[in-house]
Chain A
Amino acid sequence: MDFLAEAARRAWGLLIAGDSEVFGIALLTFKVAIVATAISCAVGLPLGYFLATRRFWGRRAALTMVNTALAFPTVVVGLLLYGILSRRGPLGGLGWLYTWQAIVAGDVLLALPIAAALSAAAVQGVDPRIRRTAETLGAGPWRAAWTVAREARFALAAVITAAFGQVVAEIGAAMILGGNIRGSTRTLTTAVALYTSQGDFGMALALGLVLVILALVVNIALQVLQGRGNA
């Protein structure tokens, strides 16, 4: 127990002192998570709406694929993308391997199925009369989609939270694609793993606390946005 208390004291000290390494890692993690969440939701939410509202040949197969992708192991995604981004891979020319952009690419691939599958479920939960009513009042496809999204805002906010949660807590792809390079691609999760393996439990705990605080802040922000106005 002493060891845990000592670690907690050291973590608190690092946070209070504004340790530059802790905050540098937190900042990079936040940047990667925001960019990856934004990209995956920008693509995934419209894709989910499309899958939920349009009837086309292969729709069921597409939904099955998206749902299957929810369970993709992060290290497998990391490995696949490593092959693609490595110097001999098809996108090796981009020079992204061991950069934060590579971590974003991996995180997007992991969060996209979450955004698409859960938003499809959220839109399917909206009464179909909402879209029909929007259309019969003269809304075009985009405005009708926006009207449906407003009705499903709580569920869609939960989708964004889930995508952010996946991205911020993911370690496998970040480790493989970023390489855990100090000051460059070290994220909170890879750093926690590293410091734990080195026996610096205080530092690992401090970074873990930052990770929890980060998740908390983003959740609170989304809840504030959801709470604007009632039914």
Chain B
Amino acid sequence: MLELRGVRHRYGKRLVLDLEQFAVPRGAVVAVVGHNGAGKSTLLRLLALLEAPTEGQVLLNGEAVPRRAPASLRRRVTLVEQRPMLFRGTVRQNLLYGLQLRGIAPAAVNGIIGDVVERLGLQPLLDRRRFELSDGEVQRVAVARALALRTDVLLLDEPASSADSAAAGALYRALAAERAARPVTVCVASHQLEDAYRWADDIRALVDGRLSPVTPENLFRVDLPPGDGVKSVRVGGIELVVMTERTGPAVLAVPPTDIFVSREPLASSARNVFKGRVRGMAIERRGAGVHVRAGGGVELVASVTAEAAKDLALAPGANVVFSFKATAVRVF
């Protein structure tokens, strides 16, 4: 659907993005995770066809997009920025903006607006102006304004960063309903792994403008057995111990920062202890990512500081032990 090829993007002399290849397949939800300043927002602006990369190409459905993308192409993609802006005027006028640009008939416009307003609970806000809204409300209105356009691709930059838990829930439900109603391609940028785990079919990590080989992808789709409390679930050749009351299909996530790496088994409260061999290391500015293939062929990724990696003499082929508590395993 949307693809970046050989993209290098600079602001002045500073290289902010360096991606050999980055594709968002049709109908997929891709999450891009990374710290502030990792290049997530720049990546989304390139995907939204708002900026042309300094070098390289953006492709939409396999066709190269001109450096100055015409409005007809831009109308197939829309971006909700991390701190979205509303135009002067009421919430209703903001929702109308993109629809009027597309020449949608007034009768249809009312139906579309009614639909997104209901989904995001915006009815009481419709006649308010931007200075009468909280940051979270502005974010919801911006998402509604984007959803109303029914574009092929929806790009969301930290869509729930200003929302409280109820508003974030409404936001996620609205987006899930949109995906259920029509095939929409979504790319979400987030610095919160939980958002990514909750959302995405595919998670990519961006570090200093580059795709990190250490993707925080300790994700396992499992079928949780009935019962409360501590459960054991089989993942590949290993047994994961998890604390949850949920049953049935779920996604388990183990944040790489919650995994202890040692050369020998530790006497600890960790219920999950796996021996394995280091398959790869990626040294980054903020530390090192350690790929381990544990027994049974399951791959796990842990983050350690550069000093810890040095102290443990971690290197490809080294035998290590990964430990983490049952409560460290997130269930989605």
Contacts and interface: CB of A to CB of B under 8 A. Distances in A.
Nearest to B130: A231
Interface stretch (B77-85, B194-202, B209-217, B261-269): B77-85
Contacts of A127: 85
B332 interface: no
Given A230-B129, A231-B131, A137 B78 contact: yes
B101 A143 contact: yes
Contact of B98 (A137, A151, A230): A137
B78 A136 contact: yes
Contact of B88 (A129, A138, A150): A150
Given A143-B101, A230-B129, A231-B88, A136 B50 contact: yes
B88 A136 contact: no
Among A127, A132, A136, A143: residue with most chain B CB under 10 A = A136
Interface of A: 127, 129-130, 132-140, 143, 147, 150-151, 229-231
A133 B101 contact: no
A138 B101 contact: yes
Contacts, number: 58
A140 B74 CA distance: 9
B75 interface: yes
Nearest to A141: B71
B149 A137 contact: yes
Contact of A129 (B48, B83, B102, B145): B83
Nearest to A130: B85
A51 B84 CA distance: 25
A130 B74 contact: no
B78 A229 contact: no
Contacts of A231: 88, 129-131
A196 B69 CA distance: 61
Nearest to A126: B85
A56 B253 CA distance: 48
B85 A133 contact: yes
**4 closest residue pairs by CB, A with B:** A137-B98, A138-B75, A140-B71, A129-B85
30 contacts: A129-B83, A129-B85, A130-B85, A132-B50, A132-B81, A133-B84, A133-B85, A133-B87, A134-B97, A136-B50, A136-B78, A137-B78, A137-B98, A137-B101, A137-B145, A137-B146, A138-B98, A138-B101, A138-B102, A139-B101, A140-B71, A143-B101, A150-B87, A150-B88, A151-B88, A229-B88, A229-B89, A230-B88, A231-B130, A231-B131
